[in-house]
Amino acid sequence: MLDPKYLRNDIDETATRLASRGFSLDVDTFNQLEEKRKSLQMRTQDLQNDRNVRSKSIGKAKAAGEDIQPLMAEVGKLGDELDAAKEELGTLLEQINKLSMAIPNLPADDVPVGKDESENVEISRWGEPKSFDFAVKDHVDIGAGLGKGLDFETAAKLTGSRFVVMRNGVAKMHRALSQFMLDLHSNDHGYNEMYVPYLVNTDSLLGTGQLPKFGADLFHTQPATEEGQGLSLIPTAEVPLTNIARDEIFAAADLPIKMTAHTPCFRSEAGSYGRDTRGLIRQHQFDKVELVQLVQPEDSNAALEELTGHAEKVLQLLGLPYRKMLLCTGDMGFGSHKTYDLEVWLPAQDAYREISSCSNMGDFQARRMQARFRSPGAKKPELLHTLNGSGLAVGRTLVAILENYQQEDGSVVVPEVLRAYMGGLEKLG
RNA sequence: GGAGAGAUGGCCGAGCGGCUGAAGGCGCUCCCCUGCUAAGGGAGUAUAGGGUUUAUAGCCCUAUCGAGGGUUCGAAUCCCUCUCUCUCCGCCA
């Protein structure tokens, strides 16, 4: 959620900046609602005050043994007027809130303006895509060859499309990857390892911004409407991890708070029919090791660089070539202020594909969550800044390893750093 | 799942339907006193929203005692629903 002050005082400027990311803010409607809100709220509060004063005087009159009948008759009339005003105000505030919650974050000044992913800017590359002297296979064929190590048919029988069953060495490597990532981030990068619920309530989803706009992307255990408090499967550990800060006031000295967790993620992938239908790239259920940081506002820019570096480190240690992209305004996520994507090299696709997304959300989520901190001298608590990033998506990392480490005979070399997690195994197949 | 108890400010803990935004204590901040690593005295110390304003300063107003409804001129205090916590029983990983 944006600072309401922007919307009241600088709405035109705000609308311009939002337009750069493809969101059109209905300025006229907003101004009208805002004007109405102002007068209605003032009137309601005046009435309220009036009633409070009169009610108090009834108490005093009663204590003094005076006749309170005339006083009570007077206040009675006030009550109806007040109730009507309150109800009208309530509806109006709800309307404004609904609009506000659907407005995306403002992009940072250094985010390139662009309409879609084609205008993202490449920042850097690491590693050389390996040249193969045989016809490369994609991860689906490699996995199938490893004793049905990746088995989409069986998963389709059990559940449906976009699910997978893994076997033996491939399943082991999948597990090894998440262990390796968790250890790296908790031992070397200073994150607290966390275990969190995979089901969350609607308050949490509102807090990080999945709701109210993107309910269709989630799996719900019951219909989660405005009035229903159905639990939903997490689409990312960002939701439970970040919401740990919801309604909390931290001491400034406690920040930054760095947390990492390995969880499955569940996404309905509504609207992505026909895209990435083959293989592990786009699944309804996938594992991810998530990085979350809660920092003071002045530190969030540096924290984004640091956090992205932590995700990059995973790729470097695994020896996977990648490039770092700065997302343009049109391709950023709803709550993001600035986002880097890491794209790993996939030989079979002859392309770089997203494997991590690292974002500075600024105070956007913190405002929705009322996540704050208090500085020693400061009178008021301030909103903190939240950041999150994948460090990394485990399934896609597995894809990258299968494809980049494949051998002509169909076997796959296990990257050095994973061997300790796989009983010293050096090769699959 | 069955039975019972509870939910008040950063923490602990009072609170007859009106004088309680909330006693008291702890903690914290500032000041005073004190010649020794202590004690004492004084003052201050919730959050959100709105108005006014150059102002995130002041001032004024409103709301909030788990959440949401209700009764009432008036509710932390009465009634209902829900959530969570604790104890006992059952069941289970």
A161 touches strand B (CB under 7 A): no
**In A77-222, at which residue ranges do the beta strands (DSSP E only) sit?**
121-126, 150-151, 165-166, 192-194, 199-200
**In A167-279, at which residue ranges do the beta strands (DSSP E only) sit?**
192-194, 199-200, 232-233, 249-251, 257-266
Out of A67-71, A109-113, A166-170, which region has the weakest mean confidence (pLDDT)? A67-71
| Pairing of β A232-233 and β A285-295 | unpaired
Tens of pLDDT, residues A42-62 = 888 888 888 888 888 888 888
**Separation between Cα atoms, residue A236 and residue A265, nearest integer Å:** 5
pLDDT score, position A225: 44
Tens of pLDDT, residues A343-399 = 999 999 999 999 999 999 999 999 888 888 887 766 778 889 999 999 999 999 999
ipTM of the complex: 0.82
State pTM to two decimals: 0.92
Q: Strand B: list positions under 7 Å from protein Cβ.
A: 10, 18-19, 47-51, 56, 61-63, 73-74
Mean model confidence pLDDT for chain A: 91
Residue A127 is classified by DSSP as: S
| Residue A28, pLDDT above cutoff 50 | yes
Q: Is A367 a catalytic residue?
A: no
Contact criterion met (CB below 8 Å) for A261 and A289: yes
Residue A222 binned pLDDT confidence (cut-offs 50, 70, 90)? low
The Cα angle at residue A334 between residues A328 and A337, in degrees rounded to 5: 55
Taking the C-alpha atoms of A332, A333, A338 and A340 in order, what is their torsion angle to the nearest 10 degrees?
A: -70
A367 touches strand B (CB under 7 A): no
Q: Is A396 a catalytic residue?
A: yes
A46 touches strand B (CB under 7 A): yes
Q: Is A354 a catalytic residue?
A: yes
**Separation between Cα atoms, residue A227 and residue A229, nearest integer Å:** 7
| Residue A70, pLDDT above cutoff 70 | yes
Other CB atoms within 10 A of residue A240 CB: 23
**Tokens linked to A370:** 């009322």
| Biggest CA pair distance of chain A | 103
Tens of pLDDT, residues A71-117 = 887 787 777 888 888 888 888 888 888 888 889 999 999 999 999 99
A381 touches strand B (CB under 7 A): yes
pLDDT score, position A84: 85
Which is more confidently placed, A342 or A7? A342
A59 touches strand B (CB under 7 A): yes
Q: Is A357 a catalytic residue?
A: yes
